[in-house]
Each structure stands twice: as C-alpha cells, then as structure tokens.
A and B are shown apart, each in its own frame.
Chain A
Amino acid sequence: MANPLDYLKETASQTAGPYVHIGLVPSDTGIEIYDHELGRDITGPNATGERIRVEGRVLDGNGAALKDVLIEVWQANAEGVYAHPENSGTVEDGFRGWGRVIADFDSGEWSFETVKPGGVPGRSGSRQAPHINLWIVARGINIGLNTRLYFDDEGTANAADPVLGRVDPPHRRDTLIATRDDSGAMPVYRFDIRLQGDGETVFFDI
C-alpha cells in the first residue's frame, strides 16, 4: 500500500435554508441580540472614489425573484486594494470591502451602496478589470454560488480581463456586466442574477 496522505477533507456544504437571516442578519427578522451587526457598511466613512448603488434581483429558473436570498459582497477599494494583509497597499480607515445584502421579503429586490472598485492585479502580470465578487446563498442552493459583477462603462478593461476572457461562448460574458443608470442622484448599476435557464448567469468554481 502506498504511503498514506494525511490531508483532511473539507467539510461538506449544506443549504443556508429559509432562515439564514436569523444567523447572519438577525435584526432583519426582529431579533435584537448583537450590539453591532456585521456587513452593514461596506466602505466606512473615509473611502475615496465614486459612490455607487448596485441593485438587482436573483431569479430562479421560472423567472421568479428569490425573496429569501442573501448575498455577500467582497471588493477592493477605489485604488484596487483589498482590505487584507496579503494584498500590497493600504485601504482607508474603516474600509472593509465586505458586506451582506438580503432581498426584500416582498419584492425580491436587493441593493447596496458602495464605492466603485479599482482594477486589481491578475495572474502572471495581467490586470483584472474592476469587479465585485458575490457569493449567493439561499434555500434550495446547496453550495454557495460565486459570481462577479463587472461594469458596463469599463469596456476597455473588461475586454482585457483574463477572467471574462475565460467565459465561453463570449456572449455569456454579458451576464456578468452591470448596466449603469445616471438618471438619479447617485449612479446605479443594475445587475440581475439568473440562476438557471435563458440568460443564466456565469458562476465560477473558485
């Protein structure tokens, strides 16, 4: 018998279920336990860069909006720096780049406010276009779904982005690109996520 390897096995995922809010955003269900709820403020007060709002829905294979979905957001600051020690560079005091967003219980619409991130380094000297990493969990989702939001006003950077470039057929790249609307006081990027079927969003195995 060969020399055994002693790696442990990753713990298996299970669905977050319909009551994920109790655990991760308890005050949204009326449970006031924590002094300080996590993920409510992505940027902090000192972040520089363009303030934007992102909004959308998560749609199932029947086109119905998920009203029980929770999305986690992970992004760099406007200079393209993540709030993490393995990233070179510093972020503004109070900038975390991480947030939690839930769909409205009645409409399924969700939104968050943040700053538009800068581009970040890619592998082997490449450059990634500005993007926001999203992780989607809900009842009926057995293992969290990873996707990315890119920006439709970053055409040049998007065209050179090595991750978008991996998506084949190329028309599926459009599912990762949010659409800017400048008609209001704050720029809004619209980003609907389709879990299944026509226009299915690209999800990544990271």
Chain B
Amino acid sequence: MKTPAEFYMRDRSIHPPAYAPAYKTSVARSPNQALISLENTVSEITGPRFGHGDIAEGDNDLLTNYAAAGESAIGERIILHGRVLDENAKPVRNTLVEVWQANAGGRYRHKKDTYLAPMDPNFGGCGRTLTDDEGYYFFRTVKPGAYPWPNQVNNWRPAHVHFSVFGTAFAQRLITQCYFEGDPLIPICPIVQTIPDPAAIDRLTARLDMNATIPFDAIAYRFDIVLRGRRSTLFENRLEGN
C-alpha cells in the first residue's frame, strides 16, 4: 500500500536566493541566517482548501470583471491558460489560482503606482479561478504593458502576470510571475534574473498557443505551473507513525 507522505525536498537551485543584490530591495529584506530545514509534519502537509462557493463565475475574466456593463478593458485581448501539475506530473485539482497585473499601458490600479501611463476605467487587474479535474485553468485578460521601476535608473519590467497558487498543502504555496515569449526585456530584468537557472526562466515564459487562439477574438498563451510533488511511502509512514 502506497501512502502519500512528505513532499519532495524543495530544489532551491531553481529558485531565486533571498539575497540578490541586483534586485536592490532584496538586500535589506533577505535573511542572513540559513533556513532551518524541517521534515514535514501535519502543519506542512495540510493547507487551505477552496471550493466553488468561494469564487464567482466571471472572476477569471479580467476583460469584464471590473468593466462597466457592455464595455471591456483596452488592450491586446489574450487567453492565458494552462495546467497546474505536481512534480510527479499529476494534475493538481480544484486548487485556487489568483492573478494580478498592470493594464495594457503598464499601469497598476494601486495608489503607489504613479507611472505616466493612463488608468483604464474598465480594468481592475485581478482574477481568480479553480483548476478542473485535469488541473486546467484559464483567464481572459489583456496583455499587460511593460513599465519602468525604481531600481537602477532605467530598469523596465517585461510584460508579466503575477500568479498565486496553493496546491493542497502549505508546503506547496507559491507566488511567481509569468512572462511572454519573445519579450526582449526578459533577459535584462533584474527580478527575472534573480533566478539562477535559465531553464527555470524559460519555464516561467508563456508560449504563444495558436491552437487555443480564438479567431477574431483573443490570442492564447500557455503557461503550465508545477508545484512540489509527494513521496509515496511504501512500507511505513514515518510522518504519521507512532
């Protein structure tokens, strides 16, 4: 009998280190001490669960979820879709996926964003959905614009959408950013480049998906997300063992 047990150890070599001085804000916000490694307990293998009562139909449509009746957000209409899988390539079902982003001009609806680009009165900039039985999710939105940010004097973020994903356990909790294939700002962005592994950056880059593109409506980009996978304990479940 195989029993799900601990999550696989997180491979820190594909994640950005806490201290990444080219991204200046990380300098004073990064722990100096080593993390204390913890074997999973019930506190880590459990986590919040969500259901269809938590969200509403249309929460995943950023084109219209903030727009006045009959109107929609301005910009390049896209479908951003993919699957949430674990490291064993199993679908992560019924998990909450939340996104937020700038508008098509590169401006966030946030009082701290003072960029010159105009607000779009019909764009709020957030959406959420639950994955289906195949781990599949989708959003309709506009492709966000690039924007300048204060780091060096002339740094620009590549177009990106922020993703928050839960999985089934607090140990799987992840926030990341999705970029778009072909963007020349990706290789020169100090935040992207906090990630030491170029292949890991490629996996954060959504790919143009012509097969899912809807003619005369929206261009599709595909972004699959992988959360930590779990061991199967073959003989003895040490996690729960007495």
Contact = CB atoms under 8 A, between A and B. Distances in A.
Interface string A180-202: 00000000000000011100111
A140 B14 contact: no
Given A19-B110, A142-B16, A34 B59 contact: yes
A36 B54 contact: yes
Contacts of A135: 170, 173
B100 A22 contact: yes
Contacts of A206: 38, 40, 44, 170-171
B154 interface: no
B239 interface: yes
Interface in B111-167: 111-113, 124-126, 128, 162, 164
Interface string A21-51: 1111010011101111010000000000000
Interface in A125-155: 125, 128, 131, 133, 135, 137-146, 148
Interface size classification for chain B: 35 or more
Contacts of B168: 84
B207 to A, nearest CB: 14
Contacts, number: 270
B86 to A, nearest CB: 7
Given A122-B41, A133-B170, A202-B36, A7 B88 contact: yes
Contact of A84 (B11, B47, B87): B47
B210 to A, nearest CB: 23
Interface string B4-43: 1000101110111110100101111111110111111111
Interface in B31-78: 31-33, 35-50, 54-56, 59, 65-66
A14 B175 CA distance: 6
Interface of B: 4, 8, 10-12, 14-18, 20, 23, 25-33, 35-50, 54-56, 59, 65-66, 85-89, 96, 98-100, 108-113, 124-126, 128, 162, 164, 168, 170-171, 173-177, 191-192, 194-195, 197, 199-201, 203-204, 225-229, 238-242
User: What 7 A-B pairs come out closest when comparing CB atoms?
Assistant: A23-B100, A140-B25, A98-B48, A84-B46, A140-B29, A142-B16, A205-B35
18 contacts: A8-B226, A11-B174, A11-B200, A12-B16, A13-B174, A14-B16, A14-B192, A14-B194, A21-B110, A76-B43, A125-B241, A140-B23, A140-B29, A163-B41, A166-B38, A172-B33, A196-B32, A205-B35
